[in-house]
Structure 1
Amino acid sequence: MEEVTQVPQDSTPLEILYQDEVMVAINKPNGLLVHRSPIATNTNVFAVQELRNQIGQKVSPAHRLDRKTSGVLLFALNPESLTHLQSQFENRTVDKTYHAIVRGYTEDEGLIDYPLTNDKGKTQEAITRYKTLERTEVPVAFGKHATSRYSLVEVYPETGRMHQIRKHFAHILHPIIGDRPHGCNKQNKLFLEKWNLTEMLLHAIEIEFEHPVSGEKIKIKADYQSEFKRMLESLEFSV
């Protein structure tokens, strides 16, 4: 029998966005690992265990989100639903939407078609579409510039490679604010010193897929985390 770890008494419950008899979705906070990983030995708190303890039953993640990425994370509650949901992700029939704050002014719309190499050395096709929701210019000097420019972008990854969105925006020279190691260290230092920002500004805001039992279209949306909201206000975005 699998051992259930105890949640600390002061643990904040996860925000449940959707739940029925076969699946559950949460708004994953920044910094929370989905499950145990040999490359992250500095924590013993994981979304799988936290959610399992919270709802009192076994959960299995249907997809993944980076530790530093917040937003919609979907879990299955039985093996049949897990297989059905995972097949949708593998077959690219799930519509995933992210929001990010990036350095500079991005194009109104863009397509990033840039292959990525995974941790096993295999190069894979990687495609990301995006559109710019808003641009801002704030009176904060940076380098030789008297002001700083940023964009709020809506992102639609068509493939699901590791750190794909982060690597793609770094590739087009509009790195995501707070991203390490793919982002801009000088910008990250600026945000740490001026706004005490330690999180990455990438949020999985919406997911749309087919219900594994009924077949109906399900759309789940996750509100921004508090730090994302704070930076929207600090950078004078109007949203």
Structure 2
Amino acid sequence: MSPDDDTAAAAQLPPLQLLHQDERLAVVNKPAGLMVHDSKLARGEDDFLADRLREQLGRQIFLVHRLDRATSGCLLLAFDRETASALGKSLMGGEVQKDYLTVCRGWPAEESWQVDHDLDGGPGKPVKKPAVTDFQRLATGELAVPSGEFSTSRYALLRCQPQTGRFRQIRRHLKHLSHHMIGDTSHGDGRHNRIFRMQGVHRMLLHAERLRFPHPDGSTLDVRAPVDAAFQKALDLFGWDVPPGGLQSPP
């Protein structure tokens, strides 16, 4: 495919939703299933969020952080190296606070809790480092599908705040708790994933709902991303509404 063909194909795609934009930075609502940038995980793909944004905005962009391909929601980027560096320092300093929504199997016993469980860096990076995630249970529900000795299958809606940035941290911490994330084909529970696919939900249920961070101009930005139709379909199975919630500061 020629560069002209690539440009024509990109023009046919719907524009990415910008949740905030100013002269120095933007927050985009990343769609689930779209890779952020080219990498070893791309497997020959040629459609990346970074390329789409450059074409859509007609300017250079600098990604401040990453989201997994299957994750949707708030993604922060800068338009110049100085701003990218300032935001990167805020991220490393724990000043960028993140809220995620997810659905897990089972009903966690506590309304709020913290997981402090070291994780390695992923394939080829065996050294374990500290990994901390805060969780809140927002709602519980059941589906009329037998699960083991039980006549129904139980699920919970969670809000999560990772306090560190390890490889697939939320997904792996939920596996550690045996409250596997729904739709996670790498660290989840295949039987429960199939139950949701039977209900018409075919995505991993992890959404970067909210970012709060210091703008280099001295103000503070607080940005939210609405869930997509597939995530909303999962919520509607249980009649769940996402309650408003504040971000927790790192301990």
TM-score normalised by the shorter chain: which range applies? over 0.9
Secondary structure of the residue aligned to 2:88 is: helix
Structure 1 runs (4+) greater than 6 angstroms displaced: none
Partner of 1:95: 97
Letter in 1 for 2:206: L
Counterpart for residue 165 of structure 1 = 170
The SS at the match of 2:15 is coil
What is the TM-score of this pair, normalised by structure 2?
A: 0.90
Partner of 2:121: 118
1:155 aligned to 2:160?
yes
CA contact (8 A) 1:7 1:53 kept: no
Identity over aligned pairs, percent:
35
Q: Distance in 2 between matches of 1:191 and 1:110?
A: 26
5 Å matches for 1:87-236?
87-106=89-108, 107-119=110-122, 120-192=125-197, 194-212=198-216, 214-236=217-239
Amino acid at match of 1:209: F
Displacement of 1:237 = 2.1
Displacement after TM superposition at 1:196 (Å): 2.9
Partner deviation per Cα, 1:15-61 (whole Å, 9 max, x = no partner): 11000001111100101111001122242111100011001101111
Bigger CA drift: 93-102 or 140-149? 140-149
1:128 and 1:101 map into 2 onto residues whose CA distance is: 15
Most deviating of 152-161 and 133-142: 133-142
Contact 2:106 2:154 in 1 (8 A): yes
Alpha-carbon distance, 1:238 to partner: 4.2
Equivalence map 1:15-94=2 (5 Å): 15-94=17-96
Count residues in correspondence.
235
For structure 1, the 5+ residue unaligned runs are none
Distance 1:65 1:7, change over 3 A: farther
Kindly provide the amino acid, as one letter, of the partner of residue 209 in structure 2. Answer: I
Q: 1:147 to 1:158 in 2, by over 3 A?
A: same
Deviations 1:172-231 (A, max 9, x none): 011110001100011112222x2132210010000000002x111111100011111011
Matched letter for residue 191 of structure 2: K
Structure 2 gap segments, 5+ residues each? 243-251
TM-score by length of 1: 0.94
